[in-house]
Structure 1
Amino acid sequence: MEIPVLASTAEQLEIWRANEDAVDAHLLGEILGKDPLMTLKLLAHAASQRSSRLLTDAETVTAALVLMGITPFFKAFGAQPTVEQRLASRPDALAGVQRVLHRAERAARFALGFAAHRADPDAAVIHSAALLHDFSEMLLWCEAPDLALEIQRRQQADPALRSVAAQRAVLNVELGDLEQALMHSWHLPELLAHIIDDKKANDPQVRSVTLAVRLARHTAQSWENPAVPDDLIEIGALMNLSPAHTLKLVHEVDGVI
């Protein structure tokens, strides 16, 4: 099934399609790069069209648009199906995918902040990796909402139940492993797949994304979550900051006053 995108993304695409001459890759990239599912869809398409003469992969939305060109992009991506349309009759599932999308947007901001502090030259790729980190969960909500709701129900019934254990019980696979298989099947850039892989936790780039995703998850409801102090200690160790300075940094990145 075709991957849906956010209704706001689909609407913006049609606005710019009518004024194609005024669009460039950076402007369009800023719009599309806020939508994890559109980002996934575009990078997968770019990978499928990649010429053997190219020495590098398109690892960000803007890079994919530069390689494709604006006119070919609009030809390849017509009117887009939306998440809101797909789940119009399932408000419970729509709420679930919206929570994951919001978490992804915050995780991407945290990861970019960590990468910038570390002066990582791949900061833009790290941002993309954090945005896409949970794309398999987003797709699960869209395509198999009953399974996603069952995982959610089990975790709510048992707060100590880890996500991967709930996923294995319901799906017979961990979503992280499914995600890696999909990225391999879609020939997504190796660097992107590497940074998204939590099992390579010793890599500082992977750790930046893992900790950003974890912090976004733990603070989704409140900064009072008891897991947050441990998160701050680990993030501080990554960036050589004290917990107090780490908290100040992540609050600034998250826009918390």
Structure 2
Amino acid sequence: MLEQPLRDLAAWTAHLRHMTIPVLASTSEQLELWRSNEDAADAHLLGEILNKDPLMTLKLLAHAASQRSSRLLTDAETVTAALVLLGITPFFKAFGPQPTVEERLAGRPEALAGLQRVLLRAERAARFALGFAAHRADPDAEVIHSAALLHDFSEMLLWCEAPALALQIQQLQAAQPGLRSTAAQRQVLNIELGDLEQALMKAWHLPELLAQITNDKKARDPQVRCVMLAVRLARHTALGWENPAIPDDLAEIGELLTLSPAHALKLLHELDGTPG
């Protein structure tokens, strides 16, 4: 594991693009159950399992991109599309028993807790983003779900590969509540995680649409706004709905969905499964 920051974006990208990405133990266990009953598995059944795990989703989409034939006109932009592209038997051949984050961070409970917070946030952000996309009748709703799920994957990889540095960023922000996360990242890592994410997506040849929708620097695009606002809301509501930033989130979400803040809040509670 990395204990010291690498010098620049190129060094971070070169290191992380070759790392063995662990997945959730629950994902690994379910894959082994389906491996023993492969004939009963199909892309939709497996997709439901993998879509709950951002790290496994990332591994699968990167692998599908590496296998993409020049004859294919479209990229595999979702988990289900990647499974259909690969086929069930080749998928199980390519992905043997998976290493898990629980094993990797077994001796670092603080780091495991930090990673679990990011994974939970990603799952909620993906649910919000899918709801926004469905409300807007966006034909790329599934891709928007994948983009929100993967929006913070570089932070997930950091917790797995350099937990001491991830904890340093967390402690820095706790000590200075007004410090922006990008400033804390530059201070500790010499880079911003958003830039690392875009560099890794390019290195892995992930679908262009997915890279575009996860790029916060293209915030005027409605699909990017769907993801950005979903991620922001998931972050602000991680500990409850009392965060003072939430009224601003509601106003922007209402504008995106052409809803009043009150109707936007009602929709959000429905999506989150919380009482309104």
Q: Give the TM-score normalised by structure 1.
A: 1.00
Match of 1:71 in 2: 89
Structure 1 residue ranges without an equivalent (≥5)? none
1:82 aligns with 2:72: no
For the residue of structure 2 that corresponds to 1:225, the secondary structure is coil
Cα distance in 2 between the residues matched to 1:239 and 1:158: 34
Give the drift of 1:175: 0.2
Question: In the alignment, does 2:252 pair up with 1:224?
Answer: no
How many Å separate the matches in 2 of 1:203 and 1:60?
A: 20
Structure 2, unmatched stretches of 5+, are 1-18
- Residues 205-216 of structure 1 mapped to structure 2, 5 A cutoff: 205-216=223-234
Q: CA deviation at 1:254?
A: 0.2
1:18 corresponds in structure 2 to 36
Aligned counterparts of 1:187 and 1:14: Cα–Cα separation in 2: 28
1:30 is matched with 48
1:62 counterpart SS class: helix
Match of 1:118 among 136, 146, 151: 136
Partner of 1:160, secondary structure, is: coil
Matched, 1:180 2:159: no
Letter in 2 for 1:192: L
Which residue of structure 2 lines up, in the alignment, with residue 50 of structure 1?
68
Q: Distance in 2 between matches of 1:251 and 1:193?
A: 29
Matching of residues 99-248 of structure 1 within 5 Å: 99-248=117-266
Q: Distance in 2 between matches of 1:221 and 1:49?
A: 41
Give me the whole-angstrom Cα distance separating, in 2, the residues matched to 1:142 and 1:83: 7
Counterparts of 2:82 and 2:112 in 1: how far apart (Å)? 29
- C-alpha deviations, 1:87-130, integer Å up to 9, x for none? 00000000000000000000000000000000000000000000
What SS is found at the alignment partner of 2:71? Answer: coil
**What secondary structure does 2:110 align onto?**
helix
Query: Residue 232 of structure 1: CA displacement?
Result: 0.3
What is the one-letter code of the residue matched to 2:152?
Answer: D
Question: What secondary structure, in the 3-state scheme, does the structure 1 residue paired with 2:20 have?
Answer: coil
**How far off is 1:36 after superposition?**
0.1
Equivalents in 2 of 1:187, 1:110: separation in Å? 26
Aligned counterpart, 2:10? none
Q: What is the one-letter code of the residue matched to 1:168?
A: R
Counterpart secondary structure, 2:107: coil
Between the two proteins, the alignment pairs up a number of residues equal to 257
Shift of 1:222: 1.2
Which contiguous aligned blocks of 4+ residues in structure 1 show a shift greater than 2 angstroms? none
Deviation of the 1:135 alpha carbon: 0.3
Q: Per-residue deviation at 1:86? A: 0.3
| Pick aligned residue for 2:116 from 98, 112, 127 | 98
Provide Cα deviations, 1:132-152, integer angstroms capped at 9, x if missing partner.
000000000000001000100
SS at match of 1:241: coil
CA–CA distance in structure 2, aligned partners of residues 255 and 222 of structure 1 = 13
Aligned residue identity for 2:75 = D
